[in-house]
Amino acid sequence: MNKLLGKLAGTLLALTLSTVLAAAQSKITIAVGGGACLCYLPTVLAKQLGEYDKAGLAVELVDLKGGSDALKAVLGGSADVVSGYFDHCVNIAAKKQEMQAFVVYDRYPGLVLVVSPKHTAEINSIKDLAGKKVGVSAPGSSTDFFLKYLLKKNGLDPAGTAVIGVGLGATAVAAMEQGQIDAAVMLDPSVTVLQGSHADLKILSDTRTQHDTLAVFGGEYPGGALYSTTAWVNGHEKEVQALTNAIMATLAWIHSHSAEDIMAKMPEELVGKNKEQYLAALKNTIPMYSETGKMDPKGAEAVLAVFSEGSPEVAKAGIDVTKTYTNKYVDQAKKTTGSAK
């Protein structure tokens, strides 16, 4: 009888503790601009590794079609934080809306302008995209910004090219293979998937490496980050620090494990049936992930310069780019963990 009572007491204590812990966790909704894209992997992997839980957060990831949709979710109040490209923070500052990135997980954007296998013969350069249909994840997303920048840089009027939203995953690959679009701005694993089926795949611009990023932008160009409205960041410092800690721990885990280890932790539905292709894409992408979590001020300035060139609205706005990001939470995370990086 005493043993039974002891077991019951133990069970009740465990239930009480789990209830208390659940109540103590802050609930955070993160809108992801396309969960299947490897550019957002650190956000998903952090949940798979339990890093959000360790940081005292109950995080819900909401997978959306593109970064612009994730941004709308936060501005509309259905999500707290965006996992998306930092350039949105700069672009929206021109509209007098304050957004702030607080931890960067992509050193490079990883954006690739690819020609549809069905249209390889007639498209040999970016200038050949005049009057063509080009796919992006969603209009107004970073893929769209990148396309417009490249078109203008090559002397084309962006308005002369039709922009089609095709998502980032299987829908984008299908649109390319069926020739529904002439080209697309894509990210891995989709680029590697296409290359696996089409050895002669034509790439017009590639920012998956430092060399290519410097060639396109003239400097390093930050990609994915966690960001929210400046008001939310300032009003939820505890949660922002916890999110930063979780992403920092995840980045450290990524850079201390193999691509095979990382793939094993990812959800099956994101890895897909062709594990070899996913693994190849992941190996291509790992160098893109930040080791520090910090925003490089020169990188932020490069984003502003690119947008100022492509958007008269941004050029005239007099944006103070230092207000669109903060490194204080990353710095605090390093003090707490004793990281030397």
pLDDT at residue number 337: 65
Residue 82 has pLDDT above 80, yes or no: yes
pLDDT at residue number 335: 85
Q: How distant is the alpha carbon of residue 116 from its chain centre? A: 24
Tens of pLDDT, residue by residue over 262-280, are 999 999 999 988 999 999 9
Residue 323 has pLDDT above 80, yes or no: yes
Tens of pLDDT, residue by residue over 10-40, are 544 444 434 444 446 899 999 999 888 999 9
Give the confidence band of 44 by pLDDT, cuts at 50, 70, 90.
Answer: very high
Report the pLDDT averaged over residues 106-112.
94
pLDDT above 70: percentage of residues in the chain: 91
Q: pTM for the whole thing?
A: 0.85
